[in-house]
Structure formats: structure tokens, C-alpha cells
Amino acid sequence: MIVLHQVCKRYPNGVDALVDVSLQIPERDFVFLVGPSGAGKSTFIRLLIREELPTSGRVFVDGQDLARLRRRDIPYLRRKVSVIFQDFKLLPHKTVFENVAFALEVSGYSRADIQRMVPETLELVGLAQHAARFPSHLSGGEQQRVAIARALVRRPSVLVADEPTGNLDPETAAQTVQLLVRINALGTTIVFATHNSELVNTLRRRVVALEGGRVVRDQKNAGYD
């Protein structure tokens, strides 16, 4: 599903964010991306959604070389690869239903598709009963589930979670991870960037560790350290 081949990323200020990164993430995999601040995790994510291009090397998603992707085709890539952010990025004056529907509206889905797909997705994340509520009336965990629903509603092949539990208490964080485990079991590839060693140690999935822009460990059934 995802292939990075000898990828380097150097920013104009001379910082090497990624150095000779090569790895493969097959379909249906669940990967924790770990490492200290500045290790290269955010750059890795930006490459996957083509917010950045590598300085050298190649990045493939579903067989497509992202450097050769035409600008008009980038929205189609982002249907395949959705991102969940730490700060939720919900629209405060839209309801839960409207926040999730918005992801479909901007992609040109029909009203009939929206009316079918949004309730299905809210049911999956356990928020069907909150469809008419506004984000300010939800707990932090519920807001994160709205963000997950918005990322899921377009049925992406890959879900990238960028520190999704960073603003949550431990119990809510654990519930969020278990939801992502269920989503992974339904066939979605998960890339989960995190500093939370307890979650990584509890789940024991594949761990890709970055340090100084390099992959220093790639291990299955692993813990944080």
C-alpha cells in the first residue's frame, strides 16, 4: 500500500528531516510511528498526503509515484489517505452530522450519498445518537471520534493518525486506540504517529522508530523502546 524508497527530505534551511528512509507498509497493516520531537514523523506524514515532495527518493501510495501526481489528482489521493489530527479541527458552528458531511461535500459527493454514508460512519464510531449536537457540547473523546468519522467517511484505504490521543486522558486515549484497531480489522491500513509509550506497549503492533530522520528500528509485535 505504501512504499518509501531511499527517501531524503532536506528543507531550505538545511535541516535534513528524513535521511535515506526505505520501508514498506502493506495493505491492512497497523504501524506505530514513534520517535522524539524533530525525528521526522510530521515530515513523513506530509509526504504521504503530498503536502511535501522528497528531495530525493520515491514515495508510492497504492502503486502511484506521488512525485508524478498531477496537481488536479491530489484530491483523489487524499480520498485514499485521510489524516486525523491532534487538535480535531472541527467546525464549531456545524453539527456532528454536518462536520462529517462536509468532507463529502467538498469532494463532490451527491446528497443521496451523503445521507447514506454519514449515518453509517457515525454508527461505526458510536456517535449516531449525537448527530445533531455541536462540538462544544461533546467531550474531548467524542470530538476525537467526530474527527475520526470525518476522516473515515470517504472510505480511505489508509488512515494516518497524527498524535490523535495527545489531548486526551488515558482512558479516553485507550478507547480511541481500540476504535482504530476495529477500523483496521475492517481493512483500513493505519499509520499511527505517537509519543504515548503506554499505548504502544499495550497494543504490541509493528513499530517504526525514527531518530534524526532515520529509521532506527522497524519491528513487529514490538513495544515503544
Residue 208: φ, ψ to 5°: -110, 115
For residue range 5-18, list pLDDT tens digits in order.
999 999 999 999 99
Amino acid 37: pLDDT: 86
| Mean confidence (pLDDT) of the chain | 93
Angle at which helices 111-124 and 140-152 cross, to 10° = 130
Amino acid 87: pLDDT: 80
- Give 178-182 contacts, CB < 8 A, sequence gap 24+: 179/125, 179/126, 179/145, 179/148, 180/30, 180/148, 181/30
| C-alpha span between 189 and 29 (Å, rounded) | 5
- In sequence order, what are the residues at sequence separation of 6 or more whose Cβ sits closer than 8 angstroms to the Cβ of residue 123? none
Amino acid 121: pLDDT: 95
Handedness of CA 21, 23, 25, 29 (dihedral sign): negative
Amino acid 169: pLDDT: 86
- In sequence order, what are the residues at sequence separation of 6 or more whose Cβ sits closer than 8 angstroms to the Cβ of residue 219? 206, 207
Amino acid 131: pLDDT: 97
For residue range 29-83, list pLDDT tens digits in order.
999 999 988 899 999 999 999 999 999 999 999 999 999 999 888 888 888 999 9
For residue range 137-154, list pLDDT tens digits in order.
999 899 999 999 999 999
* pTM, to two decimals: 0.90
Q: What is the CA radius of gyration of the chain?
A: 17
Are 219 and 207 spatial neighbours (Cβ–Cβ below 8 Å)?
Answer: yes
Does residue 26 surpass a pLDDT of 80? yes
For residue range 75-107, list pLDDT tens digits in order.
888 889 999 987 888 999 999 999 999 999 988
At 167, is the pLDDT very low, low, confident or very high (cuts 50, 70, 90)?
confident
If you average pLDDT over residues 151-176, what whole number do you get? Answer: 89
% pLDDT > 90, the chain: 75
